[in-house]
Amino acid sequence: MGKYQDFYRRSIEDRDAFWAEQAQFIHWEKAPEVICDYSNPPFVKWFKGGLTNLCYNAVDRHAAKRPDAPALIYVSTETGEEKTYSYGELQREVERMAAIYRKLGVEKGDRVLIYMPMIPQAAFAMLACVRLGAIHSVVFGGFASASLATRIDDAKPKLVVTAEAGMRNGNVIPYKHLLDEACRISQSPPEKVLIVDRGLDPNFARVEGRDLDYATLREEVGEARVPVEWVDATHPSYILYTSGTTGKPKGVQRDTGGYAVALASSMKYIFCGGEGETMFCTSDIGWVVGHGYIIYGPLLAGMATVMYEGTPLRPDPGIWWRLVEKYRINVMFSAPTAVRVLKKQDPSYMKRDLSSLKHFFLAGEPLDETTHRWIHEALGVPVIDNYWQTESGWPILALCRGVQEDLPIKYGSPGLPVYGYDLHVYREDGTECGPNEKGIVGVVPPLPPGCLSTVWGQDDRFVSTYFSLFREPLVYSTADWGIRDENGYLTILGRVDDVINVAGHRLGTREIEEAIQSNPAIAEVAVVGVRDEVKGQVPVAFAVVKDPSRIATREARRALEEEVKKTVDELLGAIARPHRVYFVQGLPKTRSGKMLRRSLQALAEGRDPGDLPTIEDPAALEMVAEAIRES
């Protein structure tokens, strides 16, 4: 393990020299004066005094050198569109979008909320923001009005960029009315809404004076050139909301210089992708993986990036492998759920020329040994699991094969701490665990470049959420249980808190509870994550109704269950829809009123909840078990 160990050790012990070297991966209009300003723990300012621009580094510098090289390969198996933009073309489109922003009064530091399906204009919209020093907040297209409104109220965007509709599995999914509803319930709705009209929903409503048509404005700005705005390395590039233990998502704030450096270096040392090569990351721009590895990472590296609208199964389960063959994809990045879905298909779909593929990366949720082994054997290339979070912005655990090619893969483990992360596993009293002892995964600050710089507008929440695990030592808590073996390899054992992971998507059970609670029939509810063979986990709700006649018969229970699911769809989006809603007479709690979530989870998974001496009403658990049996 020698070479990587040395590299890692240098990143921790000779931190500033190490990161000064990594900073060479990007263009600096003005070189940084201080590599790491850690004078105000746990806040850190990376590359202080430096001036740079994320869009310049991702687009302009490649367009200047290789204007005809492919940059963005757009494939939609939903609409049948397929189009490649060269770096030159990408730059033109980004500048047009930036010119539209200028026309609409968007200035450096303003927020722009992007609520869009996977279409090229979403990439232009993101890149145009960072070109001007405006801060984007991309909201996953699968979220509905209440989720959207919370994010609008927190970021207070001047402008929202959207499309009238998305598509999934061949069905048109109207977006616009969800945004209209979000604006209606929001305290600080945007002044303007820019709409990319895809022609999918001819009847969508426009709000006079607020809604603007992208195609019309694009014509109007014509060939306008918009120079990049050089910003401080510490200037925020984006906000991305993520669920936590409260009902209110946190706005993870990312800087500019540190993020660009971290991503650019990760492209070489982790993802082993370089100029002229092609990357296909199957995530969505609404998630952190999409930000980093559909948009910024591959473009920073001068690669072509595939932006895919569709599912892994349509028009047939061979689609991804046909894309690998057609575009000679070198680096692929997906999530374990997708692989578990593909594993169930006819293996002949994989019989394609996959010889361009060098590595296959997976992240977002635990990768079980069986799936890891299967995909490795099916593809015949190294399959690298990597563990990280919205907060970190890039991998925390991985195998840095770009530093040392022969680092051994351990099935079921995302590998070793990535350079820059001073990672340890802690007992609950703050002492360190020994080998093979389960504990909480923590990182000793300063967090490396690329990680969140704070929670948007809430520095105190940044400190209290992430750095208050122990009084001493000061540690960033990942809120994940982990275990480290004698070779330093970690295994992640799941969350410490009430966050659940559904098909690689992170959801807060509190948010789902709040949505369900808004249904007038419901008195009280608890949501837990229950094991699922394909999705990893699914949300399951246990609800107490106000009027028992609503659940008197099995039919009545079924009808109310559907109604509750619909409430969640409308407020949060189908992604958060509970898999089941069980109606119970009471919820199991401790004598001090704490919900016994682990017991609910055990019962829903068909396990024994064990002995619970602190339970308030021992009959409650039996009633829950009965509700599950009778549903």
Task: In angstroms, give the least distance from the CB of 388 to ligand PRX.
Answer: 5
Taken in order 74, 334, 391, 29, is the CA torsion positive or negative? Answer: negative
Task: In angstroms, give the least distance from the CB of 491 to ligand PRX.
Answer: 8
Distance in angstroms (rounded) separating the CA atoms of residues 95 and 125 = 10
Helix boundaries (H) for 347-492: 369-379, 459-466
Nearer to ligand PRX, 37 or 368 (CB): 368
Is there a contact between 129 and 101 (Cβ–Cβ < 8 Å)?
A: yes
Nearer to ligand PRX, 317 or 366 (CB): 366
The DSSP bridge pattern shows strands 70-76 and 82-86 to be antiparallel
Nearer to ligand PRX, 237 or 491 (CB): 491
Nearer to ligand PRX, 97 or 367 (CB): 367
Q: Which residues contact 631 (CB under 8 A, 6 or more apart)?
A: 554, 557, 580, 582
Element (H, E) at 177: helix 176-185
Task: In angstroms, give the least distance from the CB of 382 to ligand PRX.
Answer: 15
Task: In angstroms, give the least distance from the CB of 494 to ligand PRX.
Answer: 7
Distance in angstroms (rounded) separating the CA atoms of residues 15 and 185 = 47
Nearer to ligand PRX, 53 or 283 (CB): 283
* DSSP per-residue string spanning 2-65: HHHHHHHHHHHHTHHHHHHHHGGGS--SB--SEEEEEEETTEEEEEET-EE-HHIIIIIHHHHH
**Which residues here bind ligand PRX, judged by CB under 6 A?**
242, 288-289, 363-367, 385-390, 414, 478, 480, 492, 495, 501, 506
Distance in angstroms (rounded) separating the CA atoms of residues 43 and 453 = 7
Distance in angstroms (rounded) separating the CA atoms of residues 364 and 371 = 14
Task: In angstroms, give the least distance from the CB of 497 to ligand PRX.
Answer: 9
Task: In angstroms, give the least distance from the CB of 495 to ligand PRX.
Answer: 5
Residue listed under structure tokens 């710089």: 453
Is there a contact between 494 and 520 (Cβ–Cβ < 8 Å)?
A: no
Task: Pull the structure tokens for residue 450.
Answer: 């690329």
Nearer to ligand PRX, 164 or 365 (CB): 365
Task: In angstroms, give the least distance from the CB of 501 to ligand PRX.
Answer: 5
Is there a contact between 239 and 150 (Cβ–Cβ < 8 Å)?
A: no
Task: In angstroms, give the least distance from the CB of 361 to ligand PRX.
Answer: 10
Element (H, E) at 306: strand 304-309
Task: In angstroms, give the least distance from the CB of 482 to ligand PRX.
Answer: 9
Omega of the bond prior to 189 within 30 degrees of 0, cis? no
Distance in angstroms (rounded) separating the CA atoms of residues 267 and 363 = 15
Task: In angstroms, give the least distance from the CB of 283 to ligand PRX.
Answer: 9
Residues belonging to the chain: 631
Decide: helix, strand or coil at residue 597: helix
Task: In angstroms, give the least distance from the CB of 152 to ligand PRX.
Answer: 21
Torsion angle (degrees, nearest 10) of CA 404, 405, 406, 408? 90
Nearer to ligand PRX, 149 or 367 (CB): 367
Residue 324 backbone phi and psi in degrees, to 5: -60, -45
Nearer to ligand PRX, 67 or 247 (CB): 247
Omega of the bond prior to 435 within 30 degrees of 0, cis? no
Nearer to ligand PRX, 365 or 498 (CB): 365
What does each C-alpha distance from 518 to 42, 380, 417, 587 come to in angstroms?
38, 50, 42, 18
Nearer to ligand PRX, 144 or 490 (CB): 490
Task: In angstroms, give the least distance from the CB of 586 to ligand PRX.
Answer: 31
Cα–Cα nearest to 163, from 95, 103, 102, 213: 213
Nearer to ligand PRX, 390 or 601 (CB): 390
Task: In angstroms, give the least distance from the CB of 503 to ligand PRX.
Answer: 11
Distance in angstroms (rounded) separating the CA atoms of residues 194 and 185 = 19
Nearer to ligand PRX, 318 or 508 (CB): 508
Which residue is nearest to ligand PRX, using beta carbons? 390
Nearer to ligand PRX, 228 or 396 (CB): 396
Q: Which residues contact 580 (CB under 8 A, 6 or more apart)?
A: 540, 541, 561, 604, 631
Residue 560 backbone phi and psi in degrees, to 5: -70, -35
Task: In angstroms, give the least distance from the CB of 317 to ligand PRX.
Answer: 23
With b for 16 or more beta-carbon neighbours within 10 A and e for fewer, the 490-516 pattern comes to: bbbebbbebbbbbbbbbbbbbbbbbbb
Nearer to ligand PRX, 303 or 507 (CB): 507
Task: Pull the structure tokens for residue 516.
Answer: 């369900």
**Secondary structure E strands in 65-146:** 70-76, 82-86, 111-115, 135-138
Nearer to ligand PRX, 297 or 588 (CB): 297
Task: In angstroms, give the least distance from the CB of 537 to ligand PRX.
Answer: 10
Omega of the bond prior to 42 within 30 degrees of 0, cis? yes
Nearer to ligand PRX, 288 or 329 (CB): 288
